[in-house]
Amino acid sequence: MTQALQNLFWIFIFPGFVFTVCLGLVASWIVRKVSALVQWRVGPPFLQPFYDVMKLLGKEVLIPEEAQQTVFKAAPVVGLAGVLLLSTMLWRITIDPTRLFVGDIIVAIYLMVLPSLALILGSSASASPHAALGTSREMKLVMGYELSLVLAFIVVIIKSGGQLSLAAIAQQTPALSISGMLAFLVALLCVQAKLGFVPFDIAEAETEVASGVLMEYSGALLAVWKLVQAMMLVALPLFLVMVFLGGFTGALWAGIAKYVLVLVLLILIKNTNPRVRIDQAMKFFWFYCGVVLVAAVILAIIGNSYGIKWL
């Protein structure tokens, strides 16, 4: 009984829902504030992301007449569940790495793709031409970066000697080698696309498809999507920190610094680039990133079999 209660506490309070949401909203404030400073603006007050979500929760939910109601309403919840589980799992491993099994890198990859799939489902259920266009773009984008992301993790798995457990992977710092660094950079761009940040905000592209995938969402349902995005902003950089940068194994401040570093890198990429076209994005991930990663995998295999750590 206590075990069950404790599990619920983990999922819903700490390090699950409440903790991740609060941290995520703070992170989204950082994104907005830093973007504003880069653009010579003042930026929003600290609590603005909280206000936004609160306000949306109180707004009327409008659902298009022709929408597939159940899927349309269920999709944000599915997305939320996916990112919640991912975040809880990652933090559990960070806090208590000695626990036998919480999940390995394969589980994490599957959980990471859930919010995108939910978004595709939800927007395609909305019967809006703008959303349909957004859906097709999101699908292409997922197909584009998913391969690169998996290849990047394969580099890490090779570097760690075939380990799949996240706890074990988080003990090492693959980014200190050439192949690991290449994989990290590509994974960073994949995360950029997963977060829907410029230059890969193609599915939402305000000035083209008027927020595309999210177009028909309003009120509480939109608030849930905003929460999913905020939580992704916690989970995805944390995942990168754990897989590539050695996680929170050292001092706590070092771990936080690594997380902030990844976040700032994402923000800077977001603010120094225009949006690319979907065909350009797919080409980028398949050909350029693909070639880089194949090279990285080869380097990692060579490095591993000859014991050269820096390759």
Partner 1 sequence: MNQEELNNRLSEIEDRLEAIEQPADNRIWLTCDAENSYAVNKFLFEEVPLRFVIATGIDSDDCFEVLYHYAYDQTGSIITLKTKIHDRENPAIESIAPFLPGAEWIEREIHDILGIEFKNHPDMRRLILSDDWPEGVYPLRKDTDLEAVKPGNGETPSRPGFKPSPPKGAGQTVSPILAVGPFHPLQEEMEFFQLTVDGEIVTDIDVRLSYNHRGVEKISESLQFDQIPFLVSRICGICSATHPLAYVQAVEELAGITPPERALYVRTIITELERIHSHLLWVGLAGHFIGYDTVFMWAWKYREPVLDLLEEITGNRNNYGNVKVGGCREDIPNELIPKILKELDQIEKKTEMLTKAVLDDPVLHARLKGVGILSKEDAIKYAVTGPTARGSGVAIDVRRDDPYAAYADLDWNVITQTEGDVFAKAVVRLLETFESIKIVRQALKKLPEGPVAVEVKEIPPGETVGHVEAPRGETFHYVRSDGGNRPVRHKVRAPSYVNVPSFKASCIGGHIADVTITLAAVDPCYSCTERLAVIDNNNKVIHDYDTLLRLSREKTAQIKKELGAPELKMEDI
Q: Of residues 128-157, which lie at the interface with partner 1 (CB under 8 A)? A: 129-130, 132-133, 136-137
Contact 237, 191 (CB under 8 A): yes
- Which of 13, 143 has the CB closer to partner 1? 143
Based on the shown chain and the rule CB under 8 A, indicate whether residue 306 belongs to the binding site for partner 1: no
Among 235, 278, 297, 300, binds partner 1 (CB under 8 A): 278
- Asked if 45 touches partner 1 (CB under 8 A), the answer is no
- Minimal distance, residue 219 CB to partner 1, in Å: 20
Distance of CA 144 to the CA centre of its chain: 15
Amino acid identity at 310 = W
User: In 3D, which of 161, 169, 159 has the Cα closest to residue 106?
Assistant: 169
Q: Is 202 one of the binding residues for partner 1 (CB under 8 A)?
A: yes
Which residues, listed in sequence order, are joined to residue 104 by a DSSP beta bridge? 165
Count the residues of the shown chain that bind partner 1, applying the rule CB under 8 A: 32
Selected range binding partner 1 among 98-106, 159-167, 209-217, 290-298, rule: CB under 8 A: 209-217
User: Segment 232-261, which members bind partner 1 (CB under 8 A)?
Assistant: none
The two three-digit tokens of residue 272, written as one number:
């120094």
216 binds partner 1 (CB under 8 A): no
Q: Which residue has the tokens 């200190």?
A: 176
Distance separating alpha carbons of residues 249 and 174, to the nearest angstrom:
14
Q: What percent helix, strand, coil does the chain show, rounded to 5?
A: 75, 0, 25
Rounded to a whole number of angstroms, the minimum distance from the CB of residue 298 to partner 1 is 27
Residue 192 tokens read as 């950029």
Nearer to partner 1, 76 or 199 (CB): 199
Which residue lies nearer to partner 1 by CB, 191 or 209? 209
Structure tokens at 135: 């859906």
Q: Provide the 10 A C-beta neighbour count for residue 213.
A: 29
User: What is the DSSP secondary structure assignment for residue 15, as one 8-state letter?
Assistant: S
* Of the residues 60, 207, 251, 253, which one makes contact with partner 1 according to CB under 8 A: 207
Q: Which of 275, 292, 296, 311 binds partner 1 (CB under 8 A)?
A: 275
Nearest in space to 244 (alpha carbons), one of 292, 191, 308, 307: 191
Give the interface with partner 1 as residue ranges (CB under 8 A): 35, 38-41, 129-130, 132-133, 136-137, 198-199, 201-202, 205-211, 271-280
